[in-house]
Amino acid sequence: MKRIGFIGLGTMGTPMAQNIIRGGYDMVVYNRNASKCAPLKKEGALIADSPQEVAAECDLTMTIVSDPQAALAVSLGDDGVLKGLSPGKGYIDLSTVDAATSQKIASAVTEVGARFLEAPVSGSKKPAEDGTLIILAAGDNGLYEEALPLFGLLGKAAHYFGDVGRGAMMKLAVNMVMGSMTVALSEGLTLAKGAGLDPAALLDVLDEGVVSNPLFRLKGPAMLRGEFTTAFPLKHMQKDMRLALEAGDDAGSTLPVANAANVKFLESLADGYGDEDMSAVFKAFK
């Protein structure tokens, strides 16, 4: 597997593609906004004019885009990846989407004799830069095994969950918990301040106890400083909360905590904080 295609050069995609190039692979890239290809071109990547061209030029094509609509467009659109695939080629979608979207793409890919793997990644900008993401894969097991060296460049762990849709569901469950925890931390800081306590002291106590975790350690101090530099946009977290809740409805699962947390993300979106970090949900409590 010599030449890798990479589509989607946003906050996550650019450092991920750079890590693959630095791992010794030739690469062809595409992004809807062509100017974002510049950092990859400097590292030797070829620039394609469409997702179709990327897939036609490469043995394996990887995509990471923002939502189900974008994933369907880049995969199945008029000049999408599907048009460039042929029997034996591989397509890995790293995007966070719902299971039904992933299954629709998988069906189209396998119909032309190519292989499909969903592999949403858990982590944000810094883990993408550091190559410490967690890959949550499902689909063609042979393609998963072949892609493990690539996943080793992107992340610190890779998991395989079986049939297409199961990786998507795992990612939504992970992000649902993360979003709910961020709202709970916001509430705790708000309560501490309202009660006349030092919210920073709350962070210290939390870090000493059973709920100590990297999320609170990373986000809490910045939240208190009013710093919401985007590592994972709030609008994308709300999208993932929505998809998780929809999946819960389909499965007959009751998700009252996630429902309540989603209300605060929706309030933050309405207040114009969608492009800030997901931790900007803290502003909904002021």
Question: What positions carry a catalytic annotation?
Answer: 171
Please classify residue 152 by burial: count the beta carbons closer than 10 Å to its beta carbon, then call 0-12 exposed, 13-18 middle and 19+ buried.
middle
Name the token pair of 65: 């885009």
What residues does 3 pair with on adjacent strands? 26
Q: In which element (H, E) is residue 136 found? A: strand 133-139
Name the token pair of 173: 């469950």
Q: In which element (H, E) is residue 226 found? A: none
Please, what is the end-to-end C-alpha distance for the chain in angstroms?
52
Name the token pair of 86: 């042929």
**Residue of 51, 46, 47, 60 lying closest to 7 (CA atoms):** 51
